[in-house]
Each structure stands twice: as structure tokens, then as C-alpha cells.
Structure 1
Amino acid sequence: MASYNPNTRVVVAGVDYTEVHDEWMNPDIMKKAKSGNTRVVISRSAQRGQLMVGDEVAMDFPVCLGTSTHKTPLGHFNITEKKVHHVSNLYDASMPYFMRLTDGGIGMHVGPVFRTPQSHGCIRMTRSSCVPLFKTVKVGTPVRIVP
């Protein structure tokens, strides 16, 4: 298996999507996604995420991560649960398209995405990037959160 590379640059028509607040998706690569060849890489410092299919970037998207007092954890995780309609039992907040990463409630879901960390540890995504990611990944898909 290829190593994770959160520094993969995605340049399309002269726009470097690793440096802007935009999102990018390659439909041809998305069609190749299967349960055994996908993984997600989240960069805490860049506040960006990538869906990798094999060694290819299928999606590159902005994320909003945890604040300094509620940091998004670093490390290797697997998606353990997927729920279209999820409500946080800690904050009574709606977390659509929730993909659980930890038993402590950390996951990826639709929510406000700012250029600075503002979540309580979760990985918030725009609806336009979270929904296709949710539909593509499976329970068990590896997720790596890097500095």
C-alpha cells in the first residue's frame, strides 16, 4: 500500500486547490473507488482533507478542525459508524452525514467550515464535499489525521 501523502498538490487549470478554500473532485477517479482502495487524509495545519483512491487524489476539500482547547486528535483511525442523521449527545447539535472516528465522539460531518479551527474536535466539512465522501467511504475506511 502506498504511503499517505497530505502534501500532494492538486493543480487544475492553474488553481492550486491545496492553497485555497475551494474543493475539487475528479469524477473519473471517484468511479474507481472501492472499499479496499480508499483512504482519507486530513491535515490539521492546512485545514484540508483528501480522499485518496490508491495513489490518486479523488477529492481535495477544506475542513474546519478543533480549537486549541478541543484539538482534533492526530493519528490513524478507521470509520466505525456512518449515520445520515446524527445528533451530538454532548452538544445537542445536528451532525449530518456523520462518519465516526473515535468512541469519544470525534467524526467527520457537515458543518460550518471556516479558515481557522473552530470545532470541538470534529472534522467539519461543507455539504458539497461531505455527501460524496460519505457515499464513497465504507465502515472500516482508514483515516489519517496529520499535523
Structure 2
Amino acid sequence: MGDVRRRGAVALGITALVAPLTLALGASPAAAASCTTQTGPYQKQVEKFLGRPVDGKQSAADCKAIQAFQTKHGISPNAGYAGPVTWGVMDLMQKQKAVGKNPNKDGKCPVNKGRIACVNLSLQLSWIQDGKKLVYGPVPVRTGRNGYETRTGLKKIYWRNIDHVSSIYDVPMPYAQFFDGGQAFHSVGVSMWNPPGSHGCVNMTKTDAKKYWSLLKKNDDVFVYGRKPGT
């Protein structure tokens, strides 16, 4: 029965793959679209975030700066338009930065479990704490998109595979640590702010996924709470 459960865990893991698959495989981003001359509804906010002159009017230089940001983080279309998706990413970045080194200020991640990996979906942040002591993080993560939400609640890491690969799509999921029905921490090769999100897994940079691998072990607790913007 153990082998059957393990195979089931692998199969479930396939549902947690990142998307788009081509990006996960490290494919080159699409060529930049032509720059738009349109002024977006979040023009002033985007200009301020990028350190541009804040006049609320689109310029060629504004467009190039916005477009570079969109291309870096996989925001499509990358035409330099200051729309809701682009501003949403920037706003999230600002909120993440404001957390500083006190990610559990709200006290929502349990402090009576010893070592635990916490995931705040609302801020797209994760960290490891031991009681009230911060062990690692907080770090930006990329969780499940609308319809594939990362499930909330208290879980435990039940299976770890450092070189996990999807048997269907042949997409690598390095440093995979599964904690809930195929949902896992693992590294990806895309920006942590690449919309709309994963298929349920908690995506991390390679550096952070490696650190989580070294700090966590089977049966360690994981607590997921909040709600990802846009879900």
C-alpha cells in the first residue's frame, strides 16, 4: 500500500505544475510588443514606482520602463501599458517590502508548533519560524492561480523529492516538498511575480527552495492562510 500511496502522491503532484509550461522550462520570453502611446489608469502610480517623472501622461521613456518591468516579470501583453495587472504586481511588491523582518506580526502562523513553514497567500510571502523566532525569510512566493488555489490550513510535509519531474509534461520541480495532496514547495525558473500564478504549488526561487530543503524535513508543519490577490 505504501507504494500505491507514493505513486498517488506523484500523480497528484502533476496538478501542481507551474504555468505557462514553456516559461517553466526556461524558454525565452516573447519579443517585446510595440510600445503603446496610451496613458493607463494607473499611470501615476506606475511612474512613481519606477522612479519616473510623475505627470500621469505616457511618454516613450515611460513606456520603455514599464515594458522592461513587464518583460522581466512575464506580464502579458508587455506593451508598456500601465494597467491593473502591472500595478497589481507593483503594489504587491511594495506591501511585501513593508513587512520587513516581522512577517508574523498578525500572529496568524502558529507559534506553538516549534519549527514551521508559514505561507501568507494575501502577501505572497513565506518564511520558516521556530516558535516566535524567525529562522528564514520572509521570501516572495508564487502560489495557486484562480481555480487552482493553494489550499489553506495546517499541513505536514509528507514526501520530499529533490529532483522531482512531472512524468506527463516532463517539467522539473526541483527541491519538491509535498504538504497537501500534490501541492508542494519547489523552485521554478520564472519571476515570483509572474501572473497569474501556479497550479497550486508554492513556487520559490532556487536559492530559497534549496534553503527550505535544508531547513525542513518530513513531518514538519506547514501553515497556509490568507487569500491570493485575484482569486
- Indicate the SS of the match to 1:39: strand
Q: In 2, distance between residues paired with 1:41 and 1:90?
A: 30
Match of 2:173 in 1: 95
Letter paired with 1:65: T
Moved over 6 A (4+): none
Q: In 2, distance between residues paired with 1:98 and 1:143?
A: 14
Residue 57 (1) aligns with residue 134 (2): yes
Q: In 1, distance between residues paired with 2:205 and 2:164?
A: 16
**Which structure's residues are more often strand, by fraction?**
1
Q: In 2, distance between residues paired with 1:49 and 1:118?
A: 15
Answer whether contact 1:63 1:113 (CA < 8 A) is retained: no
**Measured at CA, do residues 136 and 18 of structure 1 come closer, stay the same or move farther in structure 2, by a change above 3 Å?**
farther
- Indicate the SS of the match to 1:71: coil
Q: CA RMSD in A?
A: 2.3
Q: CA deviation at 1:79?
A: 0.3
Letter paired with 2:199: H
**Measured at CA, do residues 108 and 83 of structure 1 come closer, stay the same or move farther in structure 2, by a change above 3 Å?**
same
Letter paired with 2:220: T
Q: In 2, distance between residues paired with 1:113 and 1:61?
A: 13
Normalising by structure 2, what TM-score?
0.47
**Measured at CA, do residues 140 and 70 of structure 1 come closer, stay the same or move farther in structure 2, by a change above 3 Å?**
same
Answer whether contact 2:142 2:203 (CA < 8 A) is retained: yes
Q: What's the % identity of the aligned pairs?
A: 24
Residue 123 (1) aligns with residue 202 (2): yes
Q: In 1, distance between residues paired with 2:131 and 2:146?
A: 33
**Which structure's residues are more often helix, by fraction?**
2
Answer whether contact 2:192 2:204 (CA < 8 A) is retained: no
Q: In 2, distance between residues paired with 1:39 and 1:67?
A: 24
Residue 142 (1) aligns with residue 221 (2): yes
Normalising by structure 1, what TM-score?
0.72
Superimposed CA distance per residue, residues 59-109 of structure 1 (whole angstroms, 9 cap, x where no aligned partner): 111100010021111111100011110012454310000001123x11010
Can you give the 5+ residue segments of structure 1 that lack an aligned partner in the other structure? 1-16, 25-35
Larger Rg: 2
Answer whether contact 2:96 2:140 (CA < 8 A) is retained: no
Match of 1:40 in 2: 117
Answer whether contact 1:40 1:51 (CA < 8 A) is retained: yes
